[in-house]
Structure 1
Amino acid sequence: MKKWIWIGVVAVVAIFFYVTYNGFVNKEEGVNAAWSNVETQYQRRSDLIPNLVNTVKGYAAHESQTLGEVTEARAKAMSINLSAGELTPERLAQFQQAQADVRSALGRLIAVAESYPDLKANQNFIELQSQLEGTENRIAVARKDFNDAARKYNVAVRRFPSNLVAALFGFDQKPYFEAAEGTETAPQVEF
Structure 2
Amino acid sequence: MTYALIAFALVLAVGVALLYNKLVRLRRAVENAFAQIDVQLQRRHDLIPNLVETAKAYLAHEQATFEGVARARSQAQIARSEASPTDAPSMRALAQAESGLGAALGRLMAVSEAHPTLQADAQMAALHEELASTENRIAFSRQAYNDSVTRYDVSVESVPGVFVAGPLGFKPAESLLEAPPEAAVAPRVAFA
- Normalised by the length of structure 2, the TM-score is 0.91
Question: CA-to-partner distance for each residue in 1:127-182, whole Å, 9 max, x for gaps?
Answer: 00000001111110111001000000011011112210012102111111223222
Report what 2:48 is aligned to. 49
Q: Offset at 1:91?
A: 1.5
Which residue pairs with 2:20 in the alignment? 21
Equivalent residues in 2 for 1:3-18 (5 A)? 3-18=2-17
**Contact 1:30–1:149 at 8 Å: present in 2 too?**
yes
Whether the 8 Å CA contact 2:30–2:145 is kept in 1: the answer is yes
Distance 1:184 1:124, change over 3 A: closer
- Listed as ranges, the matches of 1:144-183 within 5 Å are 144-183=143-182
Per-residue CA shift, 1:57-77, capped at 9, x if unaligned?
A: 111111111011111110111
For the 8 Å contact 1:55–1:124, the answer to whether it is kept is yes
The CA RMSD over aligned residues, in Å, is 1.8
Flag structure 1 segments of 5+ consecutive residues without an equivalent: none
Separation in structure 2 between the aligned mates of residue 89 and residue 36 of structure 1, nearest angstrom: 17
CA distance in 2, matches of 1:7, 1:46: 58
* CA offsets 1:20-75 (integer angstroms, 9 cap, x no match): 00110000000000011111111000000000001001111111110111111101
Query: Is 1:93 matched up with 2:81?
Result: no
Structure-2 residue corresponding to 1:124: 123
CA contact (8 A) 1:31 1:84 kept: no
Distance 1:185 1:51, change over 3 A: closer
Structure 2 unaligned residues grouped into runs of 5+: none
Give the aligned partner of residue 84 of structure 1.
84
Q: Alignment identity in percent?
A: 34
- What is the DSSP-based 3-state SS (H/G/I as helix, E as strand, rest coil) of the residue aligned with 2:181? coil
Are the equivalent residues in 2 in contact too, given 1:38–1:139 (CA < 8 A)?
yes
> 1:104-147, CA deviations, whole angstroms, 9 ceiling, x for partnerless residues?
01000011101211110111000000000011111101110010
Q: How many residues align?
A: 187
TM-score, length of structure 1 as denominator length? 0.92
Measured in 1, the distance between the counterparts of 2:111 and 2:186 equals 17
Match of 2:32 in 1: 33
